[in-house]
Copies of this chain bind each other. A is one copy, B any other.
C-alpha cells in the first residue's frame, strides 16, 4: 500500500497504535519512548499533543540513525480539563462517571521524521465523542475487565464495553483509538 525504501519505526508503547499501522499494511518496527507527559496550564490541547509528539520524536531520534520515525500523543478533554490515564480503579470509575452522558473531545498529535531528507512534519486530529448515560453496574463491570487502566480517559472505543458506551462520534474514528490513520497516511506520503 505504502512503498517506502527506508525502515519505519513507531516510537510508542501503545499496542493499539501498532495494530492500527498493521491494519494499513505498513512494515515497521516499534520501540518505547519513556517520557513524562506534562500538560502545561493554559496550553491549548491541540498545541499540547503536537508538542508532546515532537518531544517524543527528539528522544526517539537518539535511538534511530536511519529511517522514518513516527510518534504520537493522545489526550481526552472534557469541559476544558484533560482526563489522563487512570492511576487506579477508583480513578477509572471517577473518570467514567464524568464522561457518562456527555460529549468530550479526543486529540491526537503526531510527528513523522525522515532521516534522509531531514523533513519533520507534525499535525493533529480531533474527534468529538458522545457517551450515553452509563449505569454504575456497567462502569463496575468494565473496570473489572481491566481494559480501562492503560488508556487516556479510562476507555477504549474498540473495547467490548467501550463500543456500547458511545452513541456517536464526529470526526476520525481511528483518532479515538490512538492514531488518525487517514492523516498519518497522507503525511507519510508527503514525507517519503
Number of copies: 2
Inter-subunit contact B170/A174 (CB<8 Å): no
Inter-subunit contact B163/A181 (CB<8 Å): yes
Inter-subunit contact B163/A168 (CB<8 Å): no
List A residues 142-166 near B (Cβ within 8 Å).
157-158, 160-161, 163-166
Report which of B158, B163, B170, B173 forms a contact with A157, defined as CB distance below 8 A. Answer: B173
Q: A132-B182, A141-B1, A182-B132 are in contact. Are A163 and B174 (CB under 8 A)?
A: yes
Inter-subunit contact A163/B182 (CB<8 Å): yes
Q: Shortest distance in angstroms between A23's beta carbon and chain B's nearest beta carbon?
A: 6
Inter-subunit contact B1/A163 (CB<8 Å): no
Question: Closest chain B residue to A24 by CB distance?
Answer: B160
Question: How many residues of chain A are within 8 Å of chain B by beta carbon?
Answer: 27
Inter-subunit contact A164/B182 (CB<8 Å): yes
A186 contact set on B, CB distance < 8 A: 132, 164
A32 contact set on B, CB distance < 8 A: none
Inter-subunit contact B166/A1 (CB<8 Å): no
Is A115's beta carbon under 8 Å from chain B?
no
A97 to B127, CA, bound (A): 26
A127 to B63, CA, bound (A): 43
Inter-subunit contact A172/B167 (CB<8 Å): yes
Q: A169-B173, A170-B170, A173-B157 are in contact. Are A24 and B164 (CB under 8 A)?
A: yes
Q: A160-B1, A160-B25 are in contact. Are A170 and B172 (CB under 8 A)?
A: no
Binding site for B on A (CB under 8 A): 1, 23-25, 127, 132, 141, 157-158, 160-161, 163-174, 181-182, 185-186
Q: Given known contacts A1-B141, A24-B160, A127-B168, what 16 new A-B pairs fall within 8 Å (CB)? A: A23-B158, A24-B161, A24-B163, A25-B160, A132-B182, A132-B186, A163-B181, A163-B182, A164-B186, A165-B182, A166-B173, A166-B182, A169-B170, A169-B172, A170-B170, A173-B173
